Amino acid sequence: MILENQQTVKASSVVAAQVKERALQLGFSKVGIARAESLTEEHNRLQQWIARGYHGEMKWMERDPAQRTDPRLFFPPARSVIVVALNYYTEHEHEVRIPINRDSGRARSEELTGKISRYAWGDDYHEVVAGKLRELLSWIKQQHAEAEGKVCVDIQPVMDKAWAARAGLGWIGKHTNLITPEFGSWVFIGELLLNLDLEPEDTGIADQCGSCSLCIDACPTAAIVEPYVLDANLCISHATIESRTSEIRAEVAEHLEGWLYGCDICQDVCPWNHMTSGSIEPRFQPRAGNVNASLSEIQQLTPEAYAERFRGSAMKRAKRSGFQRNARALTHAAGAGVSSGSGAIQKDIHQRS
């Protein structure tokens, strides 16, 4: 019996090594394996976070937290969780143009641009990561006929960052994003729930944030209410992507700092993000107009033009109404005086170097 168990463990180790090698060949930046089990501590923290109302308008977070923290409730055959990370950093920078009309002393709205979060510059990461994971699952099935799996990329009820930390890819930073030693937090995360027993990682990576509080100090809305805790109600990303209100709440609208879609401030200041090499995935290179977008163009988009403009882009998440609300708020913030009907706060946009 002991010999049989040893052989099983060895086989599990060999298959795990083969799977990780194949994942890297498919272009993933990092890969790790965890045992499919309940994330007890994470479940408790999730419940506390929801109880404090920090999930904002993301009411779907309230649904079945037990399933969200135990992959076996989502995919009953699950025995292992293969977790992958894909570097999406590209060497481009934002540029916010707020030219002043010399006659009126006010910004010319037709020339204003807003910043877009780095993760959305290229093709939709859901499709890119999921496509690679489907290839990985297909390869595993060729090697092991009994294999069954479920691909997860952000949409499914799986705690991506928690599983990435459990699988040894990195640690959760004070800004609540996963930080990897090699790529900082500029990574997309995906999982493959598998019915095979694969040897999990021995240990995770210890928290290396130390006494640093740059992300907390830099957040203009104080959304990081304490280390490792984010109040989505105050988060610029939540306000410009997830919120479905007709106008951005005042305490956020006053501090958008030029962000049209999402926000990277807490990541931009993180020391771990200053050493990142560029992504080798060509589909993450910025599309035209996706680093900075014209506010006047966004406000003039028809439903048909919007669908075409953001086809195959993660930015569809904000919907046309949300995008145009954001553009109106930024236009008002720049002092352009364009009527928005949204009651957006008029305030100068702070430009970050």
Q: Which residues of 159-174 are buried (b: 16+ CB within 10 A; e: fewer)?
A: bbbbbbbbbbbbbbbb
Q: Are 336 and 344 in contact (CB under 8 A)?
A: no
Which residues does residue 50 pair with via DSSP β-bridges, in sequence order? Answer: none
Q: Where are the beta strands (DSSP E) in the chain?
A: 30-35, 80-87, 100-101, 106-107, 113-116, 149-152, 171-172, 178-179, 187-194, 224-226, 229-230, 259-261, 292-294
Cβ atoms within 10 Å, residue 185: 23
Sign of CA dihedral 158, 159, 160, 165: negative
Q: Catalytic residue at 197?
A: no
Give CA–CA dist 313/52, Å, rounded: 32
Q: Are 127 and 289 in contact (CB under 8 A)?
A: no
| Amino acid sitting at position 300 | Q
Q: Are 89 and 186 in contact (CB under 8 A)?
A: yes
- The position carrying tokens 């990682």 is 201
**Active-site residue, selected from the candidate residues 64, 103, 124, 154:** 154
User: Which is nearest to 188 in space by CA: 319, 32, 30?
Assistant: 30
Which residues does residue 172 pair with via DSSP β-bridges, in sequence order? Answer: 178
Query: From the CA atom positions of the chain, what is the Rg in Å?
Result: 22
DSSP 8-state symbol, 52: T
Q: Is 343 left (phi over 0), alpha (psi -120 to 50) or beta?
A: left
DSSP 8-state symbol, 26: T
| Residues belonging to the active site | 154
